Amino acid sequence: MAGMMHQVMGRLSWESLSEKDKKIWNLKPEIPDDSPEFLKSYQPATVEEKIGWYSLFLDLMGWRTKEIVRCGKFLLDSSHPVPHGLPSASLDAVGTDEKLFDTFAWRMLFRQFLPLLVENLRQGKNEQAALLAGLLAHVIQDAASLGHLFPNRLFYDLFPEEKFHLDYHTLFDQVTPEIKPVCPVLLGTSIPEFIFRLAMLGEQNYQKALSLIVPAIHACQSENREVLKSLCQIPFQNAVFQVACLFHTAAALSSTIEPEEKQNLETFDLTTAVEHYLHPAPRYGSILPRNHNIVNNRFVPLVLDCGKGPQPISCGLGLSSFHSFRYLLEPGAFDFFQGTVGLSCHYREDQKKDMEVEFFICLDNGWNRTITSDLEYGPELKKVFSCFLQPGQSALPFSIELGQTQTLLVAVLPHPKKEKGKEICWYPHVVLAYPRLVKKEKEKH
């Protein structure tokens, strides 16, 4: 991303804060004497300018690894330069890597720097906290730029050039859409929740930005800069929101949290979360539909009998046999995984009385990347809930204690039978209603 946009976005995030938040941060316009040398080439006149300048953090730090390594406290995992934008599993920026975005590496960024940022703010080391905020702001802002979403050679693998060459990375970085201040929200009442919600906002923005790649490429090819600006405005605006929420939540966690803000954070709706390692369902493909089942390639409403007859489900996931997916949780952020599961009441294709279709939930205290074709994940992923779904059966509620869980896996697994030498399998439409993460005080009995 161009330096000008980093500065614009940083200033807008700061301007979005309340006077109360700004008072808690209590920053001065001057660059402190004990700041890194690479920040001292400019003296801002206002705090807004200063935050804009700090948003250039990684660019100002330089590009030579031997120079970056000297800035020890600003290294990832004590030894690796912080990536510009989304990281790969090797902690490198995906734009220059051959690997795609990795959620665990993304989470590492926030696990390392957010606790230190909040602790500095609590101890009155506000200027040190501002440095870390600038570093994270730069990462979040770069992650919103389309040139930082995946290995850049894919632009040319997917869109081969013939007569003319286009430097897509530069075209995406130089775009200057109109963006505005935002209304930040609290991202947690604890540091683990802060880490989880901020990381999830970034993953949601990554998915949104990915959906814009094809029209953005076409806009570059047709030299339509106005369309390109319009497309990039969405992820850029989201990045302003993320950084503003970072400042606001850090201020709240270092002082006091307003009661009305706490009330909004009692649960987390998992239909808004980004799932990982999605195993495809033969009747659905590689998609996890929100608020719908898929019947004959058409999205249809979720309908479930929760004990009072068929009811429409306004918030849920549509599943089918061989679906498997997982979430990266943050230990200490939430205490329970709750929801209700059953067979669709309206779409009963492939529901048989003697079928054996299992819905199960597994947990692991580490980030488990195990992939299998048969949905048998081994002892590390401990099965903590299991039920066999039967036609006419009321939906089953569940409440799973999370403890120190990082991996939450959900799956639907048929157990085929053989009749007269022929294998019989079933692919019913399953509804997972209101899947959510819940804090202890909201446990359902």
With respect to CATH, is domain 3-265 assigned 2.60.40?
no
Of the listed ranges 78-87, 270-279, 305-314, the least confidently predicted one is 78-87
Q: Of the given ranges (100-104, 177-181, 305-309, 408-412), which has the lowest mean pLDDT?
A: 305-309
Convert the pLDDT of each residue in 192-231 to its tens digit: 999 999 999 999 999 999 999 999 999 999 999 999 999 9
SS3 of residue 262 by DSSP: helix
pLDDT at 71: 63
Would you say 319 and 426 are in contact if contact means Cβ atoms under 8 Å apart? no
Task: Tell me what percent of the chain is helix, strand and coil, each rounded to the nearest 5.
Answer: 40, 20, 40
> How far is 411 from 414, CA to CA, in rounded Å?
10
The pLDDT mean for the chain works out to 93
Is residue 331 pLDDT above 90, yes or no? yes
* 8 A C-beta contact, residue 25 and residue 251: yes
Average pLDDT on 153-174 reads: 93
User: By the 8 A CB rule, do 92 and 83 touch?
Assistant: yes
Q: How far apart, in whole angstroms, are the C-alpha atoms of residue 70 and residue 259?
A: 43
Q: Which residues of 41-76 are buried (b: 16+ CB within 10 A; e: fewer)?
A: eeebeebbbbbbbbbbbbbbbeeeeeebeebeebeb
Q: How much of the chain exceeds pLDDT 90, in percent?
A: 79
pLDDT in tens, 113-138: 999 999 999 999 999 999 999 999 99
Angle at 331 between CA 208 and CA 100, to 5 degrees: 35
Instruction: Write down the CATH number for the domain with range 270-442.
Output: 2.60.120.1060
- What are the domain boundaries of the chain? 3-265, 270-442
**88 vs 438: CA distance, rounded Å:** 30
**Per-residue confidence (pLDDT) for residue 68, from 0 to 100:** 61
Tokens representing 277 are: 């390692």
Residue bearing tokens 């929200």: 185
**What per-residue confidence (pLDDT) applies to 381?**
93
pLDDT single digits (tens) 343-377: 999 998 888 888 999 999 999 999 999 998 889 88
